[in-house]
Amino acid sequence: WKGYYFRKDLEGEEADRIRLAEGAVPESVAAALAQRKRWAKGNFQIFLRNKKSLVDPEWTPPQVELPPKRKINKFMRWVFFMNLTVYPIGSFPAIFFFYITGYFLYTGQAAIYTSGLRLLMALVPKIVAQSILSALSNRTVDNDDVLRSQQTWFSYAFVHVMAVFETIYWKITGKEAAWANTGALGGNSIMELPNLLVFLAM
């Protein structure tokens, strides 16, 4: 955690380090799942936000000289916005991975069947291209961080999907579903059940 909470975490005296952030870490699996669901739901709510302005109609912005607009900045702002708000939708493929793998293991039959040569012609270029793109995109990222991100993608897939449905419910009805504080979930939670069932099935 030192790399996240301190500046100069690998150099200098420990007493000279500057604390950047401080907060409570979830004390249980249930609390961690609830926290991740709140984050995903809040981000997806921003994506589905109401377009009504909350600015006072009589307020006038100050007249200042603005820097020239650059198209690349506008595009990158859009990329960052989409990356931060739409990521819960990416958990649906993880759910499909769970069910397709379970179906294959228990039945011995591929969920999607094609002839051997056709499958070979489709999979080999896909695997090669995916491996090259993954190596290029993660060449500056530590292998442990890449593995941790994949573990996070699968382990929080169910709560992210729940967050997506709760956000859609909020958008349609305008009602907010109840949620628990991080510190209030000291015991077990129903959100732990899907991961437990997948673990037992495997």
Q: What is the pLDDT of residues 48-74, one digit of tens each?
A: 886 666 667 787 878 888 778 777 788
What's the pLDDT score for residue 4? Answer: 46
Closest CA relative to residue 34, chosen from 176, 196, 186: 186
The lowest-confidence range among 61-70, 80-89, 156-165 is: 61-70
Q: Looking at the 3D structure of the chain, how many domains does it have? A: 1
Closest CA relative to residue 104, chosen from 93, 112, 116: 112
Query: In angstroms, rounded to a whole number, what is the distance separating the alpha carbons of residues 27 and 109?
Result: 41
Residue 185 lies in a domain: yes
**Dihedral (Cα; 22, 167, 184, 36), 10-degree rounding:** -50
Mean pLDDT of 22-42: 81
pTM exceeds cut of 0.85: no
Tokens for 139?
């060449």
- Band (pLDDT 50/70/90 cuts) for residue 44 is very high
Residue 80 lies in a domain: yes
195: domain range?
A: 27-50+68-201
Q: 160 near 40, Cβ under 8 Å? A: yes
